[in-house]
Structure 1
Amino acid sequence: MNIVIIGGAGFLGQKLARALVARGRLNGQPVRRITLADVTDPVGIEGAVPVDTVQCDITDPASVARVITDETQVVYHLAAVVSSHAEEAFEEGMQINLHGTLNILERCRALGTAPLLIFTSSLAVYGGEVPDPITEVSLLNPQNSYGTQKAVGELLVNDYARKGYIDGRGVRLPTISIRPGKPNRAASSFMSSILREPLNGQGTNCPVDEDFRHYYLSPRKCVENLIRVAEISAGDLGGNRILQMPGRTLSIRQMIDAMTAVAGPEPARLISWQPEEAVRRIVGGWRFDIHADRALALGLEVDGSFEENVRAYIEDDRPGG
């Protein structure tokens, strides 16, 4: 089985590739080759499965065609311009998040082999005056450009799957915390920074109140679920190929308390509390009372507690381990 991970330079693409290399199989078949594709060169990965790295600009159909070939059986589409960036740079967000997704789908259709395609969507497809709780049949009502672009991608994945062009499935990711690396331009970036930087002995700022609530999942559990999504049968998914990935709803205070329970009181003292209106304006429209019953029934999982998220970061990603 040959697997292409588009967005392979990102932390999630790298973790997914490492997990697939360690596992060696997907859908009962041996993984023969993994290709990590991104607009910048991904970091290579050593292991029993060959891992290629290649540059790919998904806004260019010819570039996509060089990566997704007749030998490709599985495509993970993880690439995106994130929320605040897509809001500030509308044309760039449209080119990558919408037209780039369409280029990937069109390339898969042109193959004529109906490859398995996993598309990562977002909680940003929800919002506005839709009653709680949010379930998988709730109206998509995005309140920013990023959410709109992801919602269109979901509809396209469902339609291409209905037509038999792909074996498609999509997952709306919770906010992934604690993310490794540096802050990015996502409005949700602070939801990792307020934990990651203090755990690394660095100061950071929280731009929202401590009672702000949101829906979270660890990188470790997210990767496990991305693999499980690829192994769900098309028959079990039915006509709606989009799943809400499970998560836990927590306040900022609960997250910080979990960090304190694992790492002691010192990290929390490195957090300042200065409001940032641009961030608050975007995240204030996001929803958090989200139910993922169908995904749980199909075998996807959630972290047992946020303490597990903190421990996973310390074990997997904190500099020095």
Structure 2
Amino acid sequence: MSILITGAAGFIGQLLTERLLSNPQYKLILTDVINPPIPSNAKYPSNARSIKADISDTDSLNDLMAASLPLDAVFIFHGIMSSGSEANFDLGMKVNLHATQSLLEALRQAGSKQEKLIRVIYASSQAVYGQPLPAIIDESVLPTPEGSYGAQKLICETLINDYTRKGFFDGLSTRFPTISIRPGKPTQAASSFLSGMVREPVDGKECIIPLKDRSFRSWLCSPKTLAENLVYALSVDLAKLEKHKRVVNMPGIGVTVQEMMDALASVAGNDKLELLKEERDPDMERILRSWGTDFDNKLAYNLGFKEDVSFEQAVRDYISSLRK
């Protein structure tokens, strides 16, 4: 199976690359605006190629497609994160919307020359939802994003639905919960602290929590569960979904700031809590409070996607990965 991954240098791209390269049946083309690395512990590293490309540039995109075809599947992971899109509207539109639209059009043209439809798996976000929201959210709730990031994601979802309806490719938009715990450095995402609350104290560093409300609840998913569900998305039977409604809220769990602090203390020790600093950031808090906090993942489970673990287990998995 030949698979293209955009934004492959990012955390999700590297996470999925490592997982796919544990199986010799997958042949990967990794692309990003920098040359994406092939994970050092990949079991079959020779099954991946890295191509530096800026898909917002027509010539660069055309070269990428020429080097990648034929394709069985594409994961679309490139993007400017939530607070970054809000702070720089033009950049967010260029990367999140216009580059994605250009890629979808290139895939439409490529698909017309293949016998089998390309499966296109788009990394969307629960930032497509905005207040007011019901207590429990499912796919029937009307998305009304309160930020540029969510608006750009929703537009791309609509395009993917229409391209799928027209038979140009076989699309699926997967609305991610916040992924925690992410390794590495803090990102421009408003939700970055939800990984930093564990990652930074474990590394002996301070983490700023941008609101003073320990009852604040977030919908989270562990990297391990996300990776398994993304691999499953390659083969999931989408016959249960109408072609113009190819959107699924990916499984997650609701966790409060206090529950995250308790999990950190339980696994890593109470002393780590001293590195958490609560300093309210009104702009960041506005974005965070526009997001849903409780989701009904019945549709995802009916399709066969995997349930997530407890947040304490996610902390244990993260610390275990550092030891490895």
Give the deviation of 1:130 after TM superposition. Answer: 3.4
Moved over 4 A (4+): none
Q: What's the CA shift for 1:73?
A: 1.6
SS of 1:76's partner is strand
1:59-79 CA distance string (max 9 Å, x none): 123322322343222110011
Tell me how far apart the structure 2 counterparts of residues 122 and 221 of structure 1 sit (CA, whole Å): 16
Contact in 2 for aligned 1:130/1:141 (Cα 8 Å): no
User: 1:314: how far off?
Assistant: 1.0
Q: After the TM superposition, which residues 223-262 of structure 1 pair with which residues of structure 2 at under 5 Å, given as runs? A: 223-239=227-243, 240-262=245-267
Which residue pairs with 2:270 in the alignment? Answer: 265
Q: What is the rounded CA distance, in whole Å, between the counterparts of 2:164 and 2:273 in structure 1?
A: 46
2:181 alignment counterpart: 178
Which one of 274, 284, 309 corresponds to residue 314 of structure 2? 309
Give the structure 2 partner of residue 61 of structure 1. 58
CA contact (8 A) 2:222 2:309 kept: no
* Residue 109 of structure 2 corresponds to residue 110 of structure 1: yes
Whole-Å separation in 2 of the counterparts to 1:78 and 1:314: 25
Give 1:196 deviation, angstroms.
0.6
2:43 is matched with: 47
Contact 1:37 1:53 in 2 (8 A): yes
> Please, which moves more after superposition, 103-112 or 262-271?
262-271
Spell out, residue by residue over 1:115-149, the C-alpha distance to the aligned partner (whole angstroms, 9 max, x if none).
11100000100012233321111101000100000
Counterpart position of 1:3: 3
- State the distance in 1 between where 2:226 and 2:87 align: 27
What corresponds to 2:79 in structure 1?
80
* Residue 27 (structure 1) aligns with: none
TM score, norm. by length of structure 1: 0.94
Larger mean Cα displacement after TM superposition, 98-107 or 265-274: 265-274
Rounded to whole Å, the distance in 2 between the matches of 1:241 and 1:66 is 29
Q: 2:192 aligns with which of 184, 189, 193?
A: 189
Deviation at 1:50, TM superposition (A): 1.7
Cα distance, 1:289 vs structure 2: 1.9
Q: Secondary structure in 2 aligned to 1:3? A: strand
Segments of structure 1 that go 5 or more residues without pairing to the other structure are 25-29
After superposition, give the CA deviation of every residue in 1:173-194 in whole Å (9 maximum; x if it has no partner): 0000001100011111111111
Counterparts of 1:100 and 1:312, CA distance in 2: 35
How much has 1:304 moved relative to structure 2? 2.3
SS in 1 for 2:198: helix
Cα deviations across residues 267-309 of structure 1 (Å, max 9, x unaligned)? 1121111112221121121111211110011111232211111
Q: TM-score, normalised by structure 2?
A: 0.93
CA distance in 1, matches of 2:184, 2:222: 14
Q: Percent identity?
A: 37
Q: Is the 8 A contact 1:303 1:309 kept in 2?
A: no
1:35 match: secondary structure = strand
Q: What is the match of residue 38 of structure 1?
A: 32
| Residue among 198, 203, 207 paired with 1:204 | 207
Contact 1:7 1:78 in 2 (8 A): yes
- 1:160 corresponds to: 163
d(CA) in 1 for partners of 2:178 and 2:43?
A: 29
The question of whether the paired residues in 2 share the 8 Å contact of 1:130 and 1:139 is answered with: no
Q: 2:220 matched to which residue of 1?
A: 216
Q: Give 5+ residue unaligned stretches, structure 2.
A: none
Counterpart residue type for residue 64 of structure 2 = V
Residues in 1 aligned to 2:205 and 2:72: alpha-carbon distance in whole angstroms: 43
* Partner AA of 1:250 in structure 2: V
Superposition CA RMSD, Å: 1.4
SS of 1:231's equivalent in the other structure is coil
* Aligned residue type for 2:246: R
8 Å contact 2:17–2:38 — kept in the other structure? Answer: no
| Bigger shift: residues 38-47 or 220-229 | 38-47
Deviation at 1:219, TM superposition (A): 0.9
Bigger drift between 63-72 and 212-221 goes to 63-72
Q: Residue 84 of structure 2 aligns to a residue in which SS?
A: helix
SS of structure 2 residue aligned to 1:257: helix
Mapped to 2, the partners of 1:122 and 1:13 lie a distance apart of: 15
Distance 2:58 2:174 in 1: 24
Is 1:70 the counterpart of 2:74 in the alignment?
Answer: no
Matched AA of 1:21: L
Shift of 1:23: 2.6
What is the CA–CA distance in structure 2 between the aligned matches of 1:145 and 1:204, rounded to whole Å?
A: 26
Match of 1:18 in 2: 18
